[in-house]
Amino acid sequence: MWAINGSSFDFEKKSIMSYKRGAYRYIFLILFQILGGGRIVSQEVHSNRMSTIGTHLQEQPFLKTYLEGAKLFLQIPDGMLNEQMLLVRHNDGYKVVSKHVVWTKFQNYILLETVRVASLSGVKIPISNNPASTSSILAKFPIINDKADPQTSLIEISGLLLTDQIDWYRSSHESIINDLTFVKKVKNLSNEVLIQTIWGVVKEQSRITIPVDFSFFRLPETMTSRKFDYRMGFRTENYEGGLSNKTSNSLASITRWRLEKKHPDKVLSEPIKPIVFNLSPEIPEKWWPYLRKGILAWLPAFEAAGFKNAIVVNNPSRENILNTEFNSVNHSLVHWGNFRNVRGYESGGGASVNYVIDERSGEILKSDILMGSTLQYLMDSYFIRCAASDTRAQQYPFSDELIGELLQSLVGHEAGHSFGLVDGHYGEYAYPFENMRNKEWLQLMGHTPSIMTYARHNNLVQPEDGIPPSLFIQKVGPTDSYSIRWAYTPFETKAIDLNDSDFLERIIREQDTVPWYRRSISFAEIIGPGATNEVVESNDPVRSTALALKNLERTMALIPKVNKFQNDYQLAERLYDKGLDLWQNQMRQVLSLIGGFDIRYKVQAQDGTMYTPIPLEEQYKALDYFLLHAFNPPKWLAYPDWKIGLDYSTYPDRLTELQINLLADLLSAMRMKRLEYTEENLQQLMLSEKVISQIQAGLFSELKEGNREIERRRQELQQFYLERMLFGIEYKGLQSMGDAKRSVYSQKTKSIFRYELGELQQLIVETLEIQENNKGHLLLLLKTLSKLE
C-alpha cells in the first residue's frame, strides 16, 4: 500500500488519482508536505516483509499491487476499466512477450481479456490467428468487497502469474512445481506495475527454478504510424504471418520509436525524448566503450532523418542499476548473455533483440539487445576471413582491441534491429568489384552497403593491398542511413510539398538509380546473387570468390601457427571446420548466378522488370568455375599437410557432405524451373539442356581422359548425381499446384534428365573397354543406371 507516516491515505479519489490530472496531484503532494505531512514512499515485499524501495516523490501509480503473505493483490481504479494496456512477460529479460489486454467488470467479477487490436494502418490484428474473435477472456477474478471502495476494485491475481494458464506463443507449456513457485517482489510506477516471480519447473526431468517477471504497462497516446512497404526492410507491428518476408504490401504499420523534434521548424533538431539504451552491469567494463560506439554509429543515420543526438547509451551506474532492477518496459538494456563461459556453449552465436510493441501504431516501447554471441564465436569467424591480411588475428586469443571492434560491429547490427530493421539482403550484387580493395571507397561506403546484411567482414582485401584492418570490419553503411531516413523523417517537417505517401514513395524510388539501396527477399529460395549469405557480395561473384579463396588458402596455412601453444588440437579442428563452411558459402555465391536473377522491386508505373536474368555468358562462366572448384577441391582444403596424421579414418568426411549438398542445390527443382522460365519467356532456347549437359560433362570429365583414376570423393559425387537424377525422374510428389510443386521436376526437366543419363550410360559402357583403374566404380554406376530400363 501507499503510506504517509504510517497512516493509510485514500489516494483513489478521482480528483487526485486521475492519470490525466498529474499536475493537480503534484500540487497536492507539495502542499501536503508543507502542511506537515509525511514522506510518500512506495513499497515492495520480499518473503512477506514490507521494505522501502524509494523515498522520492512519485506520480500516483495507474494500478497498484501489494503482497500480503503469499497473496498478490491488484487494485484497479474504475477509470482504468476498459482501457487498453499491455500485459508483458519477461523471462529473465532474455525473452519478452506481450499482449494487449483490458480489465472489465462483470457482476461481482473482474475479467482480464486480450483484445483484437485495431492497427492505424487500417486493419484489425486477429487474436491467436482467429479472425472471428474480438476478445478472449484470460482470467476471471472475484472482487474482494470488504477491501474495495466505490471507485476501485481489489482482486487477488497470484494464480494468474504463478500458473501457466496463458498462451504466450511458446512451443510447450512448463510443468509447474507449486512449492517452488512464488511472488518475489513488486513495484508500482506511474505507468507500470512490476512483478518479480520465481517459477519452479520440470525441465528435462530436472527440477529447476527460473525467474519470470510480469508487468502491466499503461499505453501512451498512439503515435503517428508509418505504413509498411515490402521494398523497405522493416518489421511490422505484429510479427505473426511473416509480412516482412513477402513481396506484397499488406496493410500494416512498421515498427519504429517515437521520435519527435524539439524544434519542428529546424531541419536538424534534438528529439523531445531520445532512444535510450542502458548497458547491463554484467558487461565487463573494458567492453563498454566499444558497445557504446557500436550503437552510436547510427547517429549519422538519424541525422539524415532530421534528428540530432537521437540515441543515448548509458554506462552502468548505481542509479541505472537501481532503475533496471526490475525488467521494465520503461528501460531498454544491452544484456551480456547468460551462456558465457558455460561449458558446452563456448561456440555459441546468435545475438538478438527483444521488443515490446504498441500494435496500434507500431511504436517500439522497449527493445533489449542480447549479446549472445561468445567471444570465441566472434574470433573464429573473423580469423577464417581476415587473418591472412590482419596480423592482429594471427594469435589466439585476440587482443582486447580487436575483440572490442568485433563486439562493436555485432552490437551495431543488433541496434539496427532495435530501430525496427530486419535482417536482409540490402544492396548485394551492387557494389563494384573493383572497389572492394579501394581504401577511399571502403572508408566512405564500406565493403557492404548495410550492417544488416550477412556479408560479415571483408575477406577480399589481399595482404599486398595495404588496407588498414579497421576497414575489414562490417559497419553501419549508406543503405542503413537511407532506411532510417525513410522510416523516421517526420512528415510535418519535410521541405518538399508532397503528401505523406508521395514523400515516402519518392524516397523508395531512389532505388531506381542507387542499386545498393535495393532490398532482396529470399525467404523461400535464393533467387540470385543479391541474396546470398556469409560472403562479401559484389557485382562479380566469380572474381570475388577467387579473391576470397586466395585468402582462405593463406588462412588455412596459419592454423598450425595459432594452435602451436595449445595443449590439444581442438582449436585447429574448429578453425578448419569454419574454413570448410566459408568455402561452401563461397561456392554458393557462384552457384547463385546459375538460373539467377537480378532483383529490383517496383510498381507497375516504373519502367523495367522486377526480375532480370543474369546474362547467359555470366551463367556459363559461373558454371564452369563452380564445376571446377566445387568438385575438385585443392589439396590445401581437402588434405592440408598439418592435418595428416591427426585423423585415422575417412569418416566423418565433412567436405564430401558439403560437396553433396552443393550438388543437390545445383540440381534442385527450383533452379530448373528458373532456367525453364528464362528459356520460355526470354527466348533463350535450349538453356536447360545446355546447363544439364555442362554439369554432366564436368562431373564425369575423367571418362574422356583415358585411364585416369577417379578420386574417392569424385566417385561419391558421381554416384549421388545418378541417384538424384533418377529420383527427379521417378518422383511424382503431391497432386497439388501449390508450394509442393516447387520440389517436383517438370516433365520437360525429367525428359532432359532421361536423355542425359542415357548418353552417360552409353559413355560408361564405351569407357569400360579401356579403363583399368575404375572398373568396379563404373560397373556400380551402370547398375544404378539399369533403373532407366
| Residue range 523-541, pLDDT digits in tens | 778 999 999 999 999 999 9
pLDDT band at 243 (very low <50, low <70, confident <90, very high): confident
Q: At which residue does the C-alpha cell 497470484 appear? A: 158
Q: Helix (H, G, I), strand (E, B), or coil: what is residue 210?
A: strand
* Residue 49 scores a pLDDT above 70: no
The CA-to-CA distance between both ends of the chain, in Å, stands at 86
What's the gap between Cα 298 and its chain centre? 18
* Residue 33 scores a pLDDT above 70: no
Omega within 30 of 0 (cis) for the link into 397 = yes
Q: Look at residue 18 in the predicted model and tell me its pLDDT.
A: 39
Q: Look at residue 169 in the predicted model and tell me its pLDDT.
A: 62
| Cα Dmax for the chain | 113
* Residue 14 scores a pLDDT above 60: no
Could you write out the DSSP letters of every residue in 12-54?
Answer: -SHHHH-GGGHHHHHHHHHHHHHTT---EEEEEEETTEEEEEE
* Mean per-residue pLDDT over the chain, rounded: 88
Q: Look at residue 91 in the predicted model and tell me its pLDDT.
A: 82
Mean pLDDT confidence for 546-566: 97
* Residue 212 scores a pLDDT above 80: yes
* Residue 43 scores a pLDDT above 70: no
Q: Which of 27, 36, 34, 28 is nearest to 7 (CA)?
A: 36
Give the global pTM.
Answer: 0.89
C-alpha cell at 660: 553433396
Q: How many CA atoms lie within 13 A of 125 on its CB side?
A: 23
Q: What's the rounded Cα separation, in Å, for the pair 572 and 551? A: 17
C-alpha cell at 342: 558455460
| Cα-Cα-Cα-Cα dihedral sign, residues 627, 630, 635, 639 | negative
C-alpha cell at 418: 532495435
Q: What's the rounded Cα separation, in Å, for the pair 244 and 266? A: 33
* Residue 10 scores a pLDDT above 80: no
Q: Look at residue 734 in the predicted model and tell me its pLDDT.
A: 59
| Residue range 682-713, pLDDT digits in tens | 777 789 999 999 999 999 999 988 778 899 99
* Residue 54 scores a pLDDT above 60: no
| Residue range 727-774, pLDDT digits in tens | 999 987 755 445 556 678 999 999 999 999 999 999 999 998 887 788
Rg, Å, the chain Cα set: 31
Q: Look at residue 13 in the predicted model and tell me its pLDDT.
A: 36
